[in-house]
């Protein structure tokens, strides 16, 4: 396989990936802070989602709304798929480079 063929194969593999994200989502319950909230008063609390990710060596997190959670979970799954493809194609590229070194 040549570099050009590998590049075509790469673009075909990632073409339908969709939106991607890197990180994880966690679910937890929290108090809203309102004194009159019956959920918090009963101890039930409110279900909340949070995305956690690393940037510049530091951990960060962002709130994910309940209407965005499924789409965002899919974006994270797509990101993991892309990472796997990067490893696989990186190994293929390394084979090509080694073959070229032997030929020269």
pLDDT, one tens digit per residue, over 45-81 is 999 999 999 999 999 999 999 899 999 999 999 999 9
Residue 37: left if φ>0, alpha if ψ -120 to 50, beta else—which one? Answer: beta
pLDDT of 8 strictly over 90 = yes
Task: Measure CA 50 to chain center.
Answer: 13
By percentage, how much of the chain surpasses pLDDT 90? 75
Which of 68, 67, 63 is closest to 28 using CA atoms?
Answer: 63
CB contact set of 89 (below 8 Å; sequence gap of 6+): 6, 9, 10, 13
pLDDT value, residue 32:
87
* pLDDT value of position 91: 96
Mean pLDDT of all residues in 85-90: 96
**Cα dihedral sign, 57-85-90-2:** negative
Parallel, antiparallel, or unpaired: how do β-strands 58-64 and 46-55 relate?
antiparallel
Of the candidate ranges 14-18, 52-56, 80-84, the one whose mean pLDDT is the lowest: 14-18
| pLDDT at site 98 | 94
């Amino acid at each position: 396989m040549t570099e050009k063929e590998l590049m075509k194969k790469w673009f075909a593999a990632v073409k339908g990936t969709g939106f991607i994200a890197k990180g994880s989502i966690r679910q937890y319950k929290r108090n809203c802070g309102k004194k009159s909230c019956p959920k918090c008063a009963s101890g039930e609390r409110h279900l909340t989602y949070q995305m956690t990710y690393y940037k510049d060596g530091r951990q960060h997190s962002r709130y994910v709304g309940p209407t965005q959670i499924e789409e965002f979970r899919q974006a994270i799954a797509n990101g993991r798929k892309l990472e796997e493809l990067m490893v696989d194609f990186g190994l293929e590229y390394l084979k090509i480079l080694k073959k070229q070194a032997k030929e020269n």
